[in-house]
Structure formats: structure tokens, C-alpha cells
Amino acid sequence: MRKTLALFFAAVLTMSMASCSGGNENTSDSGDSSTQSAAPSGTMENDSGLLVGGEHYSTSAFDITITGFDFTEQAENPNGDGDLVPGDGYVTANVYYTVKFTGKAQTSGTLFQPAVLNYGDGYHFNLTNYWFYKESSNGWLNSGDVQPLAPEFPCKACFFVPEEVKANIAALNAENAKKENALSISFLNSEPELVYSPRPEDENAKETTYQYCTGLIQSDSWNEVAMARSLMAELGEYKDSADLMMEWRLQYFTYEDREFFKEYVADLEPMSGDDSETLLTDATFSMRNNYGGDGDGTHTITFNGDGTVNANYTSEGQEYSMYEVWRMEDGSVVCTHSYTNTYGEQKTAEHYFTPYQYDETRYLLIDQNGDYSMVLTQQ
């Protein structure tokens, strides 16, 4: 649903903080710019204050680099819950960026949030919500303090805007940057005022986002990994972004990834029952599915020739079994799990998987009727 708009630059607009008539009312507790402390005056590397995607800018208070821009249906919380939904006829404009606080005293994290999205002939939309990643809290916050010498951190800001804004900004290009449907985002907590204008094409910005994502994906924090995945998805076919995104989908195999592969396999031919049985019998695979447990979520599964399965995992030090028995039935791989429910009753659950070969060493067992799909890697 997202359309990449990772390009940046445009004429600098000096905008007021008026709220757009007819726009969605801001219900975020992040507050508008009138409640935020002003940033110390600083000297920009570019005196105009125009932020170009992918380029680094410094003030006396902080350094900033725009890493992406897109439209989504909701204001998606990077923590993975509590998404904000705009009203009918509205979408969410998102700007992604990194900040390095260079001040010498503790400051509010809201210092780094943009205040207003400017559109067309004097229309202004106040900030809907804003998050910044605080490493010491290992999470995304929309309020709180930032300490001196804190490491560089990612930020995300969201604005609810009418659908026509998305439709018109998508048509922008370098030749019509000043046309009446131009869009810009103002950071008013700085001097000079920082202004960022999303553009459809900007290779420099794409490269910065690409490098940022390939570094961030190595993080031990899932929140940072999720941010890297989200930004990389916006790069589309830039360099090997699409291939990397597929690898990350196979590596993490989240709920979103499992749903993605249900649609992805529509273009693949399922493996035959004979080929599947030959592949699986007495073979051991590294496996990712919806089971978590201790460790990074990678498990081992063995399909024994006698019809039993070794698919145990540990959670908080306790060992559990995913499946105990397997068989082939009409081309499907059927895995059976016996368990005791909360009432002490013995129950059996059968899960039917359609097998697909992804590449030379990896296979997908897709559960089209549930959330038990697996990706298997030959060992």
C-alpha cells in the first residue's frame, strides 16, 4: 500500500503554524509546536535551512539526516501496537530521519520533532504523532528526555492529510517543484527554520537510506530491525533492496512475512507429493515459524522415516514439542500435535501445509488456513 517518495528538495517555503480548516483534529498527546521548548540558535551548513534527503545538516543543538518519506493508511507505531487511524478521506504522511543530539545538557525528545506539514496555497496540517528511539529504554517513545552524548537515534513523524495530498505529491518532479500542490515539512524548533520537501526521485537520499538500513538491521533491538525493514521496503528496486528484503523476510519470518509468502507462492508451482516425501524423509532442517521460545526463534525439525517428528523447542528453560507425527496426504504435508488444554483434556491438532521450493536449499511449507507456515533450510 505504500508508495515510495524518497526524494527530496524544493523551494523553501516560510510557513505559519495555522491549522488547516477541514483537516483532521490532532488527537496525539505529543503536542503541537507551541508547547515545545525552542532550540538554541545554530548555524546550518546550508544557510537556507532546506533539508535534502540523504544529506547531513548540523545546528548547534543537533545533527539531522532525512532518511525517508512515504504515505500509509495509518500512523503505524514503530513499537508494533497502538496504530492511529485517520478519518475517512485521510491518509498518513510519514517522514523518517535520524538525529544526533550535540547539546551539553539534557533536553526534551520533542525538540527534534517537526511541527507542521505545509501543502499547496497556504494549507497547514499539525503533527499527529512522533516517535524517537531511546536506546537506554530499548524502545520508541513520543516523550521523554535525551541525554548529552546519546548515540544517534532514528525518529518518525506522522501527519494526517487528505487523500488529495498524496495523489498530487506523487506527480511532483524536478521541473514542477514550485507548482501549487507542493508539499513541505517544517521543523520550527530551530533557527533557521528547517524545511524538508519530499520528492519522488533522489538517488542520494536512496543511497543514504540503503546504507542506514543495512547497518541498522544488524542491531540486537527488534525495534531498530523493524525500522530498517520498513525503510528498506520503501526503496523498492533500488540496488539489491528487493533481494535484501526477501532475505530479511526469510530470516525473521514474522507474522507480516508469513502473510506475505501466502500471496507470494501464488506464482510458484507446488512440489509434488512424491518430491516432497523424498525431500523430507529422514532429513533435518533449520526452521522458522510462528514459535518463539528461547534464542532467536530459529528451530530444528527432523521428519523421521517412521512418521515421527523431532520438533522440540525451549521457552524459559522448559522444553516443548511443536509436532510429533507427520505424513503426506494428497500432496500436502500434514503435521500433528497432541496437547493437553487448560481443562486437562487431551487434544490433537492437524496442520496442512502446501510445499514449495524457494531456492536450492530453502523450502516453504505454507499454511493457507492458519498461521503455522514454515521456512525450511536444508542442513
pLDDT of 31 above 50: no
Q: Which residue has the cell 525439525?
A: 301
The residue from 152, 170, 205 where one domain ends is 205
pLDDT of 20 above 70: no
pLDDT, tens digit, 9 for 90 and up, residues 162-174: 988 887 765 543 3
The residue from 184, 205, 226 where one domain ends is 205
53 or 108, which is more confident:
108
- Confidence grade of residue 261 (pLDDT, cut at 50, 70, 90): very high
pLDDT, tens digit, 9 for 90 and up, residues 59-86: 778 899 888 888 889 999 888 777 899 9
Residue 7 lies in a domain: yes
Residue 252 lies in a domain: no
The three cell numbers of residue 317 are 528453560
Our measurement of the distance from residue 270's CA atom to the centroid of its chain's CA atoms, rounded to an integer in Å, reads 30
Q: What is the mean pLDDT of residues 94-105?
A: 92
- Confidence grade of residue 202 (pLDDT, cut at 50, 70, 90): low
Q: What is the pLDDT of residue 11?
A: 30
Beta-bridged to residue 95, according to DSSP, are 69, 157
Residue 347 lies in a domain: yes
192 upstream amide cis, omega within 30 of 0: yes
| 192 and 50 share one domain | yes
| 30 and 157 share one domain | yes
Q: Which residue has the cell 534527503?
A: 53
Q: What is the pLDDT of residue 360?
A: 94
Q: What is the pLDDT of residue 43?
A: 31
pLDDT of 10 above 80: no
- What residues contact residue 148 under an 8 Å CB cut-off, 6+ apart? 101, 103, 104, 105, 106
The three cell numbers of residue 79 are 513499537
Asked whether the beta carbons of 376 and 273 are under 8 A apart, the reply is no
Q: What is the mean pLDDT of residues 252-261?
A: 92
The CA-atom distances, in angstroms, between 220 and each of 127, 296, 365 are 30, 10, 28
Q: What is the pLDDT of residue 205?
A: 66
pLDDT, tens digit, 9 for 90 and up, residues 111-123: 899 989 988 778 8
CATH number at residue 78: 2.60.40.1240
Q: What is the mean pLDDT of residues 277-305?
A: 92
The pTM assigned to this predicted structure is 0.57
| 145 and 42 share one domain | yes
Q: What is the pLDDT of residue 22?
A: 35
The three cell numbers of residue 376 are 525450511
| 8 and 109 share one domain | yes
172 or 291, which is more confident:
291
Residues above pLDDT 70, as percent of the chain: 80
Q: What is the pLDDT of residue 211?
A: 85
Residue 246 lies in a domain: no
Mean pLDDT in the chain?
80
212: phi then psi, degrees, rounded to nearest 5: -60, -45
Across 48-52, 261-265, 306-310, least confident range:
48-52
Residue 239 lies in a domain: no
Domain span at 133: 3-205
pLDDT, tens digit, 9 for 90 and up, residues 350-373: 999 999 999 999 999 999 899 999
How far apart, in whole angstroms, are the C-alpha atoms of residue 40 and residue 42? Answer: 6
Across 86-90, 146-150, 213-217, least confident range:
213-217
Q: What is the pLDDT of residue 9?
A: 28
Q: What is the pLDDT of residue 161?
A: 94
Residue 233 lies in a domain: no
Q: What is the pLDDT of residue 92?
A: 94
Asked whether the beta carbons of 227 and 212 are under 8 A apart, the reply is no
pLDDT of 286 above 50: yes
| 198 and 273 share one domain | no
379 or 10, which is more confident:
379
Residue 81 lies in a domain: yes
Q: What is the pLDDT of residue 193?
A: 72
Question: Which of 74, 142, 88, 72 lies closest to 111 in space, CA to CA?
Answer: 142
Across 14-18, 270-274, 315-319, least confident range:
14-18
Across 53-57, 88-92, 284-288, least confident range:
53-57
Give how many domains the chain has, as a whole number.
Answer: 2
